[in-house]
A and B are shown apart, each in its own frame.
Chain A
Amino acid sequence: MCLAIPAEVTELLPDDMAVVSIDGVAKEISVALIEDLAVGDYVIMHVGYALTKIDPVEARRTLELLQQLSGEGRELQS
C-alpha cells in the first residue's frame, strides 16, 4: 500500500496529532510514529499517519543529482 504524499506540518496538536497541509488542503493526522516533529517540517503521510520526516538536505542532493544525470545523456550522445 504505497499511496503516500509529502505534506507540511502546520500545527502540532495534543495526543500525537498534527495538522498538515498540501497546497491549501488541510488534514488532521497522527504523528505517533515520528519523533521530534516541528511546525514547518515535511512528512510523508499515508492512511492518516505520518510515516517519516523528509530530509531537506537529502532532497536537495537528489534533485542536484537528477539534474546532473539528466545532462549526462546529452553529453554522451554528442
Chain B
Amino acid sequence: MKYADEFRDKTIAQGLARTIAAEIDPQRPYRFMEFCGGHTHAISRYGLEDMLPPNVRMIHGPGCPVCVLPAGRIDMAIRLAERPEIILCVYGDLMRVPGSQGNSLLRAKARGADVRMVYSTMDAIRIAEETPAREVVFFAIGFETTTPPTAVMIRLAEKKRLTNFSVFCNHVLTPSAMHNILESPDIRNIGRVEIDGFVGPAHVSTIIGTQPYEYFAEEFGKPVVISGFEPLDMMQSILMLVRQVNEGRHEVENQYSRAVTREGNLRAKEEVSDIFELRDRFEWRGLGLVPYSGLKLKQVYAQFDAEVRFAMNELRVADNPACECGAILRGVKKPVDCKLFGTVCTPETPMGSCMVSSEGACAAHWTYGRFRDHQLRRAS
C-alpha cells in the first residue's frame, strides 16, 4: 500500500527508537497526550510503547468521538430507531455503545428497531431515495474530520429535494476538548498530572489546519506536533516533542506535512460553516458540559435536523459511578486503575465508552496490552 507501507518500515523504526533513547534526559519524565483515536489504535496495534524508553509515557486523550458520546444521546437515538416510521443509519462503531441500563442500538435492532449500519453518508442518502415512505435519520458523530462529509450529505439532500431525510447531529470540536482537558482542575493541580506535550490529531488537522493549535502552544506553553498515524509518523513526532521539551520550546510543528497545511482544507471548512453553528454547550462523556464544543444545524436547515423534526427531548443519563471513563479520558487515570476494568467491564460487556470503541484507552489496553500488566506485576 503506497504511502502506508513506507511509513511502517521496521528498520527505520528501530533506528528512531535508538535516536529517541539517545536524546532523552533519563532524569525527567516525558508525558505526551495523543488526542486521536487513530493514534491510540496505532500505538497498541504496533506495540509502539515497547519501543520507547520507560520514562516516555503516552497518555490517551479523549480523541475518540464514540468514546465521548454520552449515554443520554445514545438513548435518544434508540428512541428514534424504535419509532416504526424511522430508519436509523449509523456508523458501525456506534452499534454497541452502551446507553442506559445496558441498552444499545444493537440490542434495539435485535428487538425490531430498524437500525442500519452504513459505511458512508452516501449510503444514507441512497436509503432515503429508495424508501420514500419512511423517514431516514443519519446518526452523525465525529470530530472535524467527519463533519465535512455530513455537510456534503445535507447539501446533497437539499439538492435532491429529499423530504424524508434528517440528521441527528453530535459533531464535536477538537480544540474545545483540548482546552477543557488543560483547564480541568486535575491538570491545574500541581503534581496531579502533567502533560509535557501533545501529539496532534492527524485527519482533523487536514481539515482545520495547524493554525488552531497555535493558541495552545502559546497560552499553555505546551509543544504540539501534528502527527500522521502510521507508526513511523508517530515515532518521528515523539522525537520532535522530546526535542522541543529538551530545548524548552513550545511550538506547533507539522510532522504530517504530506497531508496537512497551516490553513487546512478551505473548501471543507466552508461547507461546514455554511450548514452548522456552535451549540452553547454540549455534554461529553466523562467531561460533563463543555462550552462551545458541539455543532448543530443552522435554523435554515431545520428540516434536516432530527432534533427539531422529531421534537426530541434531551436525555441525560448519569454514568455508572464506578466507571472511570472520565478520569481515563483526561489522562488522570489508567484503565487498570478502574475497578470495573476486566471484571464487570470487558469488550463483551462494556460499561463505559472507553471499552466500546476499539480506540478507547480501555479497549486498546484490553485487546493489545493486557499482558504487560502481568509482566509488570511479576517484575515488582
Q: Could you tell me which A residues sit within 8 Å of B by CB distance?
A: 1-6, 8, 22-23, 29-30, 32-35, 42, 44, 46-49, 51-52, 54-56, 58-59, 61-63, 65-67, 69-74, 76-77
Task: Report the bound CA distance from A25 to B265 in whole Å.
Answer: 26
* Given contacts A33-B148, A58-B258, A71-B15, A1 and B4 within 8 Å (CB-CB): no
Q: Is the CB of A51 within 8 A of B265?
A: yes
**Taking the nearest CB of chain A, how far is it from the CB of B184, in angstroms?**
23
A29 to B4, CA, bound (A): 19
**For residue B233, which residues in chain A have a CB less than 8 angstroms away from its CB?**
62
- Minimum CB–CB distance for A44 against chain B, Å: 5
Main secondary structure of the interface of A (DSSP, over half): mixed
> What class of interface size applies to chain B in its complex with A?
35 or more
Which residues of B are interface residues toward A (Cβ below 8 A)? 1-4, 6-7, 11-23, 36-39, 41, 63-66, 91, 119-123, 141-143, 145-146, 148-149, 152, 155, 201-204, 206-207, 229, 232-233, 236, 239, 255, 257-260, 265, 267-268, 271, 359
Q: Are B203 and A2 in contact (CB-based, < 8 A)?
A: yes
Chain B residue contacts of A35, Cβ below 8 A:
267
Cβ A4 vs Cβ B38 within 8 A = yes
Q: Is the interface of B mostly helix, strand, loop or mixed?
A: helix
Contact of A61 among B257, B260, B271 (CB under 8 A): B257
Chain B: CB-nearest residue to A43 = B259
Give Cα A4 to B204, complex, Å. 11
Q: Are B38 and A51 neighbours in the complex by a CB distance under 8 Å?
A: no
Question: For A54, A66, A74, which residue has the most chain B Cβ atoms within 10 angstroms?
Answer: A66
Is there an interface contact between B146 and A76, defined as CB atoms closer than 8 Å?
no
Residues of B within 8 A of A48 (CB): 119-123, 149
Are the CB atoms of A51 and B152 closer together than 8 Å? Answer: no
Expressed in whole angstroms, the minimum distance between the Cβ of B269 and any Cβ of chain A is 10
How far is A50 from B157 in the complex, measured between Cα atoms in Å?
19
Contact of B206 among A52, A58, A61, A62 (CB under 8 A): A52
Contact A66 B236 (CB under 8 A): yes
Which residues on the B side are within 8 Å of A72 (C-beta)?
A: 15, 19, 22
Q: Are B257 and A58 in contact (CB under 8 A)?
A: yes
Instruction: Find chain A residues with CB under 8 A from B91 CB.
Output: 1, 47
Q: Is the CB of B1 within 8 A of A70?
A: no
Q: Known contacts A66-B16, A74-B18; is A2 also within 8 Å of B257 by CB?
A: no
**CA–CA, A55 and B259, complex, Å:** 6
Whole-angstrom distance between the Cβ of B314 and the nearest chain A Cβ: 23
Query: Distance (Å) between the CB of A33 and the closest chain B CB?
Result: 5
Complex alpha-carbon distance, A23 and B2, angstroms: 8
Contact A66 B232 (CB under 8 A): yes
